[in-house]
Amino acid sequence: MVSKRRIGDSQVYPVGLGCMNITHAYGPPLPEDEAKALLVRALDLGYDFLDTATLYGFGRSEELIGEALKDRRQEYFLASKCVLGFKDGQRTLDARPETIKAACEASLKRLQTDVIDLYYMHRPDPNVPIEDSVGALADLVQEGKIRMIGLSEMGEEHLRRAHAVHPIAAMQSEYSLWVRNPEIAIKAACEELGVALVAFSPVGRGFLADPPVDPDKFHKSDLRGTIFPRFFPENYSGNLPLLEEARACASEVGCSVAQLALAWTLAKGGNVIPIPGTTSLQHLEENWKAGGIELSEDMVARLDAHFLPEKAVGPRYNQIGQSVVTTEMYDFETSQ
């Protein structure tokens, strides 16, 4: 029996479902019927933590969840995000209290629900003190429109300042064998404060798979070709040798490389919950099964040593992407 993991006062299966790629970021959106079928299949398998955002597909990800799953709302823990939004087809960044409250109302309508279990600030807003933004989220808790507050892509200082205003249930950070930045500070801070660490892109945006994604085949709308330099031609070939050891370890464990990557995140702490996204029913099931894979301490140490942060070739984000996050960086990253 797989033990569930805690987010605030709730318990969820150790692997959640990220709902970005069905509408957004890695190429064209899934056809509507396929996206809805994937969401239904996720619940049928036993996924009970769905993570979406206002930004994904400019609201379409939320709408698909509402349309496909409104009659099964009691079966899953629902998370969405505000602050990164959209207006006239363009992305916006706005954490003013009135904007957060309006965004929540819009998300509730798209999701066809009365309450969002976990509502994150998708990014910090440099023009609004985080205390003001969290104060607005606390009002939404009091009004019963959201149950818990989360943060995303923020560092320890923002977490502690936010937590002083209202308990923070979850911090979402990119965390994988290929991206170890939470280990600088935020992981320990989450453990200290009783905050769940929700690991997004735990399969390295498709890098930690066998075979890994092929940048030469990216659709023109795939953000990996423009925002994430590790996938750029001058960097990607230098990262591929990292996978040789991952394949060897996966063979020893008896799982896929993607499952190994997920099992590694699960081994990094009982408060870590990976949320891989996928457009594939096969990968959906494969990721689900990773929740039951336990790695030995020796295997975790071996993977830690092989995937040292400085071995990754290229920065995590381009300059624009990095400018809107406050997750701590390694010293070597600041010189890249």
Look up residue 62 and give its two tokens.
Answer: 């939320």
Task: Provide the β-strand partners of residue 273.
Answer: 198
Q: Rounded to whole angstroms, how far apart are CA atoms 184 and 297?
A: 20
Distance CA 293, CA 333 (A): 32
Tokens 């959106």 correspond to what residue? Answer: 29
Residue 18, H or E segment: strand 17-18
Q: Which residue has the tokens 């023009």?
A: 127
Retrieve residue 291's tokens: 């929740």
Q: What is the rounded distance in angstroms from the CA atom of residue 158 to the CA atom of residue 190?
A: 12
Distance CA 54, CA 80 (A): 7
Burial of 7 (0-12, 13-18, 19+ CB in 10 A): buried
Residue type, position 141, single letter: V
Catalytic residue among 47, 56, 76, 317: 56
H helix count then E strand count, the chain = 13, 12
The type of residue at 112 is: Q
Nearest by Cα to 115 from 76, 159, 147, 75:
147
Cβ neighbours around 336 below 10 Å, total = 12
69 and 19 Cβ atoms separated by less than 8 Å: no
Does 56 qualify as catalytic in the annotation? yes
Cis omega (within 30 of 0) on the bond before 229? no
Q: Which residues are catalytic?
A: 56
